[in-house]
Chain A
Amino acid sequence: MKRTLENIEEQFETFQILNEEGKIVNEDAMPDLSDEELKEIMYRMVYTRILDQRSIALNRQGRLGFYAPTAGQEASQLGTQFALEKEDFILPGYRDVPQLIWHGLPLYQAFLFSRGHYHGNQMPEGVNALSPQIIIGAQYTQAAGVALGMKKRGKKSVAITYTGDGGTSQGDFYEGINFAGAYQAPAIFVVQNNRFAISVPVEKQTAADTLAQKAVAAGIDGIQVDGMDVLAVYAATKDARERAVNGEGPTLIETLTYRYGPHTMAGDDPTRYRTEEMDNEWEKKDPIVRFRKFLEEKGLWSEEEENEVIEKAKEEIKAAIKKTDEQPKQKVTDLIGNMYEELPAHLQEQMEEYKAKESK
């Protein structure tokens, strides 16, 4: 359903299914998920939280490079991804590595991406995605193009892309949602509103009350979702996907979420711009805590099970980082070799020069 300029506040009221206590507050919207699927979502959220903790530790030991922490955003990241099919195409931002992993990128390659090795960006056959985007918002226009291409090919699939609250200030954000709207292309634009673009609060990004309402100007559907509620995120994405593949156009989904950690591990100190009270308030909304309560109530989850996931995650991460270490280091000649399909003469000369340097 297309939103209008009237009653913005009502139209963009936050969509929630599971409240902070783990109780269903919106039975009608409850998605059709089997017990196994519910458990799988929990498995992935717990696993991803451990991955985040281990990644931070590995970064501090100097064993990982660029890393943007994900804790707090599991419901937004994994709830959207869980609603996708294998043939759907992900265009992630740099914090969206978990979605790639659950879409099929091997863990050791995610670590290689962190280390700045191109093999981390070589999507295995059948994993439909681009590597994480560094420039804020650039993936939005590209997603419109992927979706337009799918439409032209007659595919029943979607392009899904992610940015944060800061990303909605970029020109490419508007161009992306506008192009997709103009072409009625099957795209899902996710804004993970974690309240801060590094240090700048969302109130300083825009005078708009919600980010989802930016959909109105583009003439596309938009929804604001409780981004700590994995069921609501999943349901909203599933719905957006269905409408997209039915030719009903793109959707903008704003998820209200929070990153517990720093912006990246490169020296950001959140105490400079966030209060402890705010951190505590958001931790009460934690996506894993509330989903655990919900599952335990249904008799689908136990401490024992959770510990098994934690152990499994730790083991797999350990094995993956070992494999990461075993990969040959990236060379300058790799760079030169991957600039063009065929090396132009000036790069052939430079290739020889660097081959000689690298063999010393």
Chain B
Amino acid sequence: MAQMTMIQAITDALRVELKNDENVLVYGEDVGQNGGVFRATEGLQKEFGEDRVFDTPLAESGIAGISIGLATQGFRPVPEIQFFGFVYEAMDAINGQMARLRYRSGNTQTAPITIRSPFGGGVHTPELHADSLEGLIAQQPGMKVVIPSGPYDAKGLLIQSIRDNDPVVFLEHMKLYRSFREEVPEEDYTLELGKANVVREGNDVTLITYGAMVHSSLKAAEELEKDGIDAEVIDLRTVMPVDFDTIIKSVEKTNRVVMVQEAQRQAGIASYVVSNVQERAILHLEAPILTVAAPDTVYAFTQAEEVWLPNYNDIIEKVNKVINF
């Protein structure tokens, strides 16, 4: 076992799959020679050659579009969108095209494509780099959306995403890239998509979250423990599909829920999760489900981002409300 950062775990996952399957191709802007702007593909071109790890012209729709074409030739593309804020350029190629290929072709053609992309706030990026846009993809039938919360999950989920025969958007929170290390097995292993992970067990309230907010939620849980509140924290890992079985099991135990996401509140993952929880478990609820989310604005410029981003104090405040309801 090695101690790895999330970015190292991602590189390792790519290396494992490039080795395992000769159909895997890794490409994008600055991905080849330069090893990616975050070094996620560091050394891979050297190791696997330019035929399999390569730079593309600077055009997101083209990157996503060629992936569909490559898939028709039996490849398993792993393209990178350099920052997920650039995904608007590729929305037709993703939601309009690759998501629909299986259905459109009556199950005769598939798009086993994994689009990797950094996103997330707190690292002082310019505009359209940090926005949480997972909801745009999660709203599209045919797509899966995976968001790891740390190195171990990132490797297992990325390998599984690449092996999945449906298109996956794999979102990597930039703040998690190098913020901590974790034990990561050197061999290959997978974590099932569509399965949540109970990262902290508790009896009084369920915090449902994903991505960087898993850590804010864990920190909130630690603080709450001092006040005698025992919070359970569920890391969704996959925001489409969502593992409602794990959620409902927890809700039946705690009877109280706070949903936590970094994204702005409007029409996103939280709304989807909350509507399902009330539909499936309303008789188990002792209080309304509250949501911690960013305000309904575009992502804040750097100077306002610390206030804009939800933090553990926001979570504690909402938990106290549902506990004292």
Contacts and interface: CB of A to CB of B under 8 A. Distances in A.
Interface of A: 89, 91, 118-119, 121-123, 130-131, 135, 138, 140-150, 152-153, 159, 171-172, 175-176, 178-179, 182, 335, 337-341, 344-347
B111 to A, nearest CB: 10
Q: Tell me which of A142, A341, A345 has the highest count of chain B C-beta atoms within 10 A of its own C-beta.
A: A142
B65 interface: yes
Interface in B192-207: 194
Most B-side CB within 10 Å, residue of A135, A152, A337: A152
Interface string B14-47: 0000000000010000000000000000000000
B70 A175 contact: no
B234 to A, nearest CB: 16
Interface stretch (B51-59, B151-159, B305-313): B51-59
Contacts of A153: 73-74
B65 A138 contact: yes
A96 B142 CA distance: 26
B161 to A, nearest CB: 13
A144 B108 CA distance: 21
B321 interface: no
Nearest to A344: B241
B57 A179 contact: yes
A123 B65 contact: no
Interface of B: 25, 51, 56-57, 59, 61-62, 64-75, 92-93, 96-97, 102-110, 141-142, 144, 164-166, 194, 241-245
Contacts, number: 136
Contact of B62 (A123, A130, A179): A179
A339 B106 CA distance: 10
A131 B56 CA distance: 26
Contact of B241 (A140, A178, A345): A345
Max count, chain A CB within 10 A of own CB: residue among B62, B70, B103, B244: B62
A148 B66 contact: yes
Contact of A141 (B93, B141, B241): B93
| Residue from B64, B69, B103 having most chain A Cβ neighbours under 10 A | B69
Contacts of A145: 65-72
Contact of B72 (A130, A138, A335, A338): A130
A142 B56 contact: no
Contacts of B92: 135, 138, 172
B236 to A, nearest CB: 13
Nearest to B55: A182
